[in-house]
Chain A
Amino acid sequence: MATVKINGKEITVEDGTLILDAARQAGFEIPTFCYQARLSRLGSCRMCLVEIGGQRKLQPSCVTPVLHGMEVFTENETVKSARSSMLEFMLANHPLDCPTCDKGGECELQDFVFKSGPRHSPFDEWKRRFHEKDEILSPIIVKNHNRCIHCERCVRICDEVVGVSALGGIGRGAKTQETSFWNTTLDCDHCGNCIEVCPVGSFMSLAYRYKSRPWDLKEADTVCPYCATGCQITIGARNGEVVRVRSKSATGINKETLCSRGRFGYHFMQSEKRLTKPMIKKGGRLVECSWEEALSAIKQRFGMGRKTAGIASTRLTNEELFVFQKLVRDVFKTNNIDLDSRFANKWVTSAMVDVCGFREGGVSIFDALKADTIFIIGSAISDENPITDYLIRTTASDKRKTLILAHPRRLKLNSSATISLKYKPANLGDVVKGIVDFIEKGKDKAEGDIDAAALRFKNASTITIFLGADILRLDNGTDVLENIAVLKTLLKKTGKNINCLPLFDRCNQRGAISMGIHPLFLPGFKKSEEEGMDCGEILNAAKNGEIESLYVLGEDIVSMYPDARFAKDAVSKVKFLVVQDTFLTETAKMADVVLPGVTYAEKDGTFTNQEGRVQRVRKIISCVGGSKDDLSILDNIGGFGYKSAKDVFDDIKEEAPSYKDILFDALNNTGVLVNGQGTGGMSQEPGVRSQRQEAIDYSEYPFQVITGNHLFHSGRLSQKAHVLVKLLAEPFVEISDEDAKELGLSDKEVVIVKSKEYEAALKLRVVKGSQKGVAFIPENFDSVSVNRFYTRGEGMARVKINKL
């Protein structure tokens, strides 16, 4: 520990603490430009100069650690005048075009000059000028080089956190430009984090350009609606129109970073394709009708008991999902309720709950990342959970840590991995089994990659295992999860500390399961008395005419269920189909009654992310058109009399013990991790195990299909967000360079992808280092809906790929 005196105030801090941090702890703010807590230290802008007793020259506090007995001055005349001079130098070359700069009103340079800057400028020389017109650097970035102060935050965030390294300071001295390789259009992750960290109006958002001044915005802190990383976002609306999403520097687990979906995927909320009026089927056609008519039709015609079912999207809030399961169970009197969750069978979801210890409470990602060994399997994490990817990248830059990344595709995060394991999707289980075997048999010599990974496990003392949503989709998912459970037990036995976290692709997947959107358990994982049907079983029953009424809440089964033809056929046999959604999806088109719900920006409530962190969703705009918030719709049909999300939350606290201590009104930007509720309740039932069929001959179809979200998309929702569509509008098929070479195919050419069920022409992407025999097709596109390639009951789709 070191005791230092800052402006006369004594403070004791850890050895090695930066003067900047010590001063902040002592309550003195020091202005900074190039310093950013999560980035490497640069010490170049000299804004943070302070005086150290006994030293003649001022020192940059952002790179200078305290020493015991040090006396520091951050507010004296010398420091103030240095600060003012530094700003004067910056302004010497700054265009001072604040009136036309988007950053005006929230610019760090403006603020610092206002606070500590010179009030005059003796400079009488030409300013540097790179260009007259701002440059469009990418579909999301507009760049003004003239305003840059060369803090290099953009360069470092892109390199160190995002892992793309698309930017650099090109040139020398005042003529440097922070830009792309050849100052040409960026082909990058389009995350916009360079825009967010830029202290001035140099990197700017194209979508937000000239849209508003910060003081004209109404802002609300809420949660990203895409993946289950659960990033905190701040939505800004002007005159009722959402004009931007930003991320605040010290807020949420994401701390100023977002991915392209989170930052630029907001236009779907006010898309003109939104459903704005209820519809009812008359004479075989859907026609608009009044809310009274739609709701009373449901109340009259929706059945009761075993022949009814409900399927809900995991993008809805906990409160809505809780009320939905209440509606299905208490009013429709059935346990036939499931979530979309990759359409996993109920045993797989239930095994996931067990293995990840949902009943034991939440695990903070930051605690999880303290482990010395991190193992990720079954998730294209760089695409699916980009901010989790960032957090792991920064953690893994500590070379003492081991990162084992197992996935068929070559991912961005592979470059940070100590060991990269490749496998064919159907053989995911073999990777886990291999590790278990190694440890069980007490081996200590590694032959091959899997052994090498296992050896790392053996030598580890704390381990975090991340389980991706790919596992949910495997037909032998339960076996895999069981092996993970065995692995956990084995490792625990040797005194190791293990955490297991899911990596989910929908914002409230964990919440949905905890709210009882599951055929096996009620809210709080209480075992339901009668076992209901899961999504696949419901569809199967529907196909046999055994489902008369089906309520689909926010999910597009026809587009997403793996076997499009089967799903469509099954849904068409339902006598009374209710779809509540924000868009007229393929499933909604088949409905008897369509209810227009709202997006997350139009409602209050909570999401529970993959860690088990409960965070507040806050309303910022009023319901679009004649749509109604989903909670009130469900409440109306069920006649429960809930007044608000908070009202429902009180009931959730009763039913789901892990939510008991959470205060709805007190939920702030960090959210609260759910508590443990004891390990009682459901546990792994034998039930349906591996659903693997007798061996099918796939030799004609050599590629195993793997699907999931593309980095710029999420389900079909992002298709309604035009900026994301601009980033990627067309589906593609991705294969390894080895396969491409063998087949004589090259990057970007159009190929024919054919399965037993379906054939389509897709653009080819060739990735170096992916597993051979694997084809990735994103699940996000209507034009080539990947579920059409699947055959129900066969698990993985298999395809062949040929020249056009």
Chain B
Amino acid sequence: MLSTQAIENIKKAIAKYPTKKSASMDALMIAQKECGHLTEDILLEIAHLLDMPPVQLNQVAAFYTMYNKRPVGKYHIQVCTNISCSLLDSEHIVQFFSKRLGIKKGETTSDKKFTLSEVECLGSCGTAPMMQINDDYYENLTEAKVEEILKTLK
């Protein structure tokens, strides 16, 4: 169940567009901010608010990697492995995280602190390899830099 605040925010988002379903992406993001990840029930609730067939909303949610369909940890580490990043060995960064956190891609640590994901281009190719943790970008990654960053994530 979404909070009244989230529903309010979704309604505000709807008001910005000519048709209700245009607010799909906003609404999904609002819900995700609140609930961490999107579930069947949440999607049904949003579809109802947007007056659209639930399956069409899920098409959007399922298409974008930025919507979490499974629970994620406190810190969601999203390493870009698209072309520019992979040319600069982003795979190594992924491997490094894997080793450091003891989880594979798509998994969450048992203390629910970290989730490791691989994502497509985040539009920051000039500073590849890069990643996004929650809302922040971290660029020009190296093993040492990753160590530093991990220390700041309490």
Contact = CB atoms under 8 A, between A and B. Distances in A.
Contacts of B3: none
B63 A180 contact: no
B55 A171 contact: no
B69 to A, nearest CB: 10
Contact of B62 (A159, A165, A167, A170): A170
A166 B53 contact: yes
A167 B55 CA distance: 6
B36 interface: no
Contacts of B53: 159, 165-166, 168, 181
Interface in B76-94: none
B40 interface: yes
Nearest to A170: B62
A286 to B, nearest CB: 52
B19 interface: no
Contacts of B40: 181-182
A321 B148 CA distance: 89
Contacts of A168: 53, 55-56, 58-59
Contacts of A166: 53, 55
Interface string A143-170: 0000000000000000100000111111
B73 interface: no
A115 interface: no
A172 B58 contact: no
5 contacts: A168-B55, A168-B59, A181-B43, A181-B53, A181-B54
Nearest to A415: B51
Interface string B43-81: 100000000011110110011000000000000000000
A166 B40 CA distance: 15
B55 A180 contact: yes
A182 B58 contact: yes
Given A168-B55, A181-B43, 20 more contacts: A165-B55, A165-B56, A166-B53, A166-B55, A167-B55, A168-B56, A168-B58, A169-B59, A170-B55, A171-B62, A171-B63, A172-B62, A172-B63, A180-B55, A181-B40, A181-B53, A181-B54, A181-B55, A181-B58, A182-B58
Contacts of A165: 53, 55-56
Nearest to B59: A168
Interface string A596-636: 00000000000000000000000000000000000000000
Contacts of B59: 168-170
Contacts of A171: 62-63
Nearest to A171: B62
Q: Is the interface of A mostly helix, strand, loop or mixed?
A: loop
B40 to A, nearest CB: 5
Contacts of A169: 59
Interface residues of A, number: 12
A172 B58 CA distance: 12
A167 B62 CA distance: 13
Interface string A560-592: 000000000000000000000000000000000
Nearest to A169: B59
Interface in A40-71: none
Contacts of A170: 55, 58-59, 62
A94 to B, nearest CB: 22
A170 B63 CA distance: 7
A181 B48 CA distance: 13
Nearest to A180: B55
A154 to B, nearest CB: 12
B19 to A, nearest CB: 13
Contacts of A182: 40, 58
A193 to B, nearest CB: 16
A467 to B, nearest CB: 31
A420 B63 CA distance: 36
Nearest to A184: B40
A180 B54 CA distance: 9
Please list the 7 inter-chain residue pairs (A to B) with the smallest Cβ-Cβ separation, ordered nearest first: A165-B53, A168-B55, A168-B59, A181-B55, A181-B54, A170-B62, A182-B40
A747 to B, nearest CB: 15
A385 B110 CA distance: 57
Contacts of A167: 55
A146 B63 CA distance: 19
B25 to A, nearest CB: 15
A631 B16 CA distance: 66
A752 B92 CA distance: 69
Contacts of B55: 165-168, 170, 180-181
A356 B62 CA distance: 50
A144 B63 CA distance: 21
Nearest to A182: B40
Contacts of B43: 181
A181 B52 CA distance: 12
Nearest to A164: B53
Interface in A162-196: 165-172, 180-182
A698 to B, nearest CB: 36
B112 to A, nearest CB: 25
Contacts of B56: 159, 165, 168
A611 to B, nearest CB: 32
A182 B63 CA distance: 14
A171 B63 CA distance: 5
Nearest to B64: A172
Nearest to A175: B62
Contacts of B63: 171-172
B47 to A, nearest CB: 8
Nearest to B54: A181
A172 B120 CA distance: 12
A178 B1 CA distance: 27
A183 to B, nearest CB: 9
Nearest to A165: B53
Nearest to B51: A415
